[in-house]
Structure 1
Amino acid sequence: MTVRTRLRALFVSSFAGALALLVSASPAHAQPAPAQPAYPSKPVRLVIPFGAGGITDVAGRLIGQHLGEELKQSVIIDNKAGAGGAIAAQAVAQAQPDGYTLLLGTVGTQVVNKMLYTKLNYDPAAFVPVSLVSNSPYVLAVNGIDGIAGVNDLAGLVRYAKAHPGQLNFGSAGNGSSPHLALELFKLATKTDIVHVPFKSGAEAVNAVMGGQVQIVIDAIPVIQPQAKSGRLKMLAIAANHRNAAVPELPTSTEQGLPDFQIGSWNAIVAPAGTSPAQIEILNQALARALKRPAVVARLAELGIEPMTTGTPAYLAHVKSETAKWSKVIKAAGTRLD
């Protein structure tokens, strides 16, 4: 082999080696990352912090069904009752932030639990908000048969309470429950002395009023209205600034001179901290479409439940307002749960 031939072979060999090294180092030669399935690609779990049958459960199941249809995936309802919603909230806070576990938050889980419990095993502010969902305004009622002498509206109730301090009792679903705090708000707004009697559930409190054990109760429209229609309860006001289509004849607290006495059972959907903004946006848009469905609008109206403004800004503003309101009420009432 001539010198020229050997040099040509060496050049070809070196060039081929350099080319192979360049190709092996090229990104184009790297294995592509596996494509992520479009969200959602499996059922979504919606954790409800109370047992089946209550107003929160009813609203959650209705909205969950139609949210699932918009997402083209099943929304599985998971009731986790206990500790004012703290058990459910803690479970969701510790779940994987993958968009497949959501919490139907309440005023308890998102606002007041942090004021009622010294130690709370989750941070309400750490959840990623999807949106507000619904609000069921509360109705204040008294016994419809024996009643309270001369009491037919809020002004009459206030007059009687002030003339008989400490002699009226109100029943609630338990210490720290929304109905309990609602009457504490009423007492604060009217400067009246009314005694709280806690029960194990809202149904027990309603039965206690009808049976004469206590004189006052406040709860959501679907809880109070059936007993009012039978004459066993007398509705005095809806604790809101506008009338409700389910009880259009019932004056509001604002109409009756108590604009600060407003409360309802409101719900919001939130996700664990770290959930992808893209997934939150998909959920938000699907929820907004679900709440506009005629079937949803009609059923909510029938129950006296009002859809709320969707989106993160509305949620944050609402929670800020609720925090300011209930911190004053809880401080005045001295309510603690531990």
Structure 2
Amino acid sequence: MSLRGRVRAFFAIALCSITAAAPQMALSADADYPNKPIRLIIPFGAGGITDVAGRLIGQYLGEALSQQIIVENRPGAGGSIAAQTLVSAKPDGYTLLLGTVGTQVVNKMLYRKLSYDPAVMTPVSLVSNSPYVLAINGIEGVEDLQGLAAYAKQHPGKLNFGSAGNGSSPHLGMELFKLSTQTDIVHIPFKSGAEAVNAAVGGQVNIVIDALPVIKPQAQAQRLKMLAIAAQTRSPAAPDLKTSTEQGLPKFQIGSWNALVAPPDTPTAYIDVLNKALAQAMARPELLSRLAEMGIQPLPTGVAAYQQHIASESEKWGQVIQAAGTQLD
């Protein structure tokens, strides 16, 4: 081989070595992840059950990561504003979204034009679920879900329910109840869940569903009557309240569940770090105790559990939305 050929071969081998080593060099440079605070975007305003769960779990996740979790509330458009913020963020492991059934599942079914695609997000893990409670006011003689269904069938179109607006979780939850019981109950949308609950307390609507911490104080004050928790198992925060499954409606399950997701193309190495820390946080007895006090259930961690949950929820709510004919644009 000529001298010129040997020189070319040398530089070719050197270039290949540098290229092959580049990913390892990058990984080594980020081996101390995380080394600064992480932003956690919450798609609703402060004070709601999603915000409460996110801040509490974020605190313990931050301790496991030895970094601060900075919560940023970005409400609006059913969570779409927060979701769009996430998909536009750098995939560096320092921006996360506390996803909901809205951001991850139903928005793509409700909106013809959505500003983001949940499928491009990088899943981290499921986090928690706050089962909803169905409560009534002003319906004499009804003590359980079967009694409510029977009353509604005897008085089609006479009962109504309040929700946080068209396409909200409480709205779709009651559409699921209607589908499960083949009943005709009128939807009255409000601007927020708080307004819907207040309307039920004031007698403007007959039925409302929301998270246990929202409904329970009104029931204790005898302003609302709780009929069931829409879940498979009873809540430690209300052990005497029967589940929808116990009352013969196993398909009527609805809650405010949350999951951690990252921007598109976030490296697997960062996801693994986050999952390990989340599993450690969710194993803390003090966190589990505080969640149980509020009626919030921990969910299985890991990417696989998230993907299975999304598939199940997509099938379930797709059927409900199709039956209800709900469309937001």
TM-score (ref. length: structure 2) = 0.92
- In the other structure, the counterpart of 2:3 is none
Instruction: Tell me how far apart the structure 2 counterparts of residues 193 and 282 of structure 1 sit (CA, whole Å).
Output: 49
Whole-angstrom distance in 2 between the partners of 1:292 and 1:248 = 22
Alpha-carbon deviation of 1:24?
Answer: 10
In structure 1, how many angstroms separate the alpha carbons of the residues matched to 2:35 and 2:297? Answer: 31
Separation of aligned partners in 2, 1:97 and 1:275: 4
- 2:215 is matched with 224
Aligned pair partner of 1:40 in 22, 34, 38? 34
SS at match of 1:113: helix
Deviation at 1:25, TM superposition (A): 10
Pairing of 1:98-177 with structure 2 (within 5 A): 98-143=92-137, 147-177=138-168
Establish whether residue 53 from structure 1 lines up as the match of residue 44 from structure 2: no
CA deviations over 1:138-158 (Å, ceiling 9, x no partner): 000012xxx312111111111
Aligned-residue offset at 1:223 = 0.5
Amino acid at match of 2:181: T
Deviation, 1:114, is 0.2
Unaligned runs of 5+ in 1: 1-21
Task: Output the CA distance in 2 between the equivalents of 1:23 and 1:135.
Answer: 59
TM-score by length of structure 1 reads 0.90
Secondary structure in 1 matching 2:291: helix
C-alpha separation between the residues in 1 aligned to 2:264 and 2:296?
29
| Structure 1 residues 25 and 312: alpha-carbon distance in aligned structure 2, compared to 1, 3 A threshold | closer
When residues 165 and 43 of structure 1 are mapped into structure 2, their CA distance, relative to the original with a 3 A threshold, is same
Match of 2:171 in 1: 180
Larger Rg: 1
Percent of aligned positions that are identical: 69
Is 1:79 matched with 2:70?
Answer: no
Q: 1:18 is matched with which residue?
A: none
Letter paired with 1:82: G
Provide runs of 4+ in structure 1 moved above 3 Å.
22-27, 32-35
Q: Specify whether residues 25 and 167 from structure 1 end up closer, same or farther in structure 2 by C-alpha distance, changes over 3 A only.
A: closer
- Rounded to whole Å, the distance in 1 between the matches of 2:252 and 2:284 is 31
Code of the aligned partner of 1:320: A
Find the aligned partners of 2:10 and 2:113 in 1 and give their Cα distance: 59
Structure 1 residue matching 2:301: 3-state secondary structure: coil
2:185 matches 1:191: no
2:248 counterpart residue number: 257
**Cα distance in 1, alignment partners of residues 87 and 228 from structure 2:** 37
Match of 1:70 among 46, 58, 64: 64
Distance 1:197 1:98, change over 3 A: same
Give the length in aligned residue pairs: 318
Q: Which amino acid aligns with 2:327?
A: R
Q: CA deviation at 1:23?
A: 11
* 1:156-208, Cα deviation, whole Å (9 max, x unpaired): 11111001100101000111000000000000000000000001111111110
Question: For residues 73 and 193 of structure 1, do their structure 2 counterparts lie closer, same or farther at Cα, with a shift above 3 Å needed?
Answer: same
SS of match in other structure, 1:46? strand
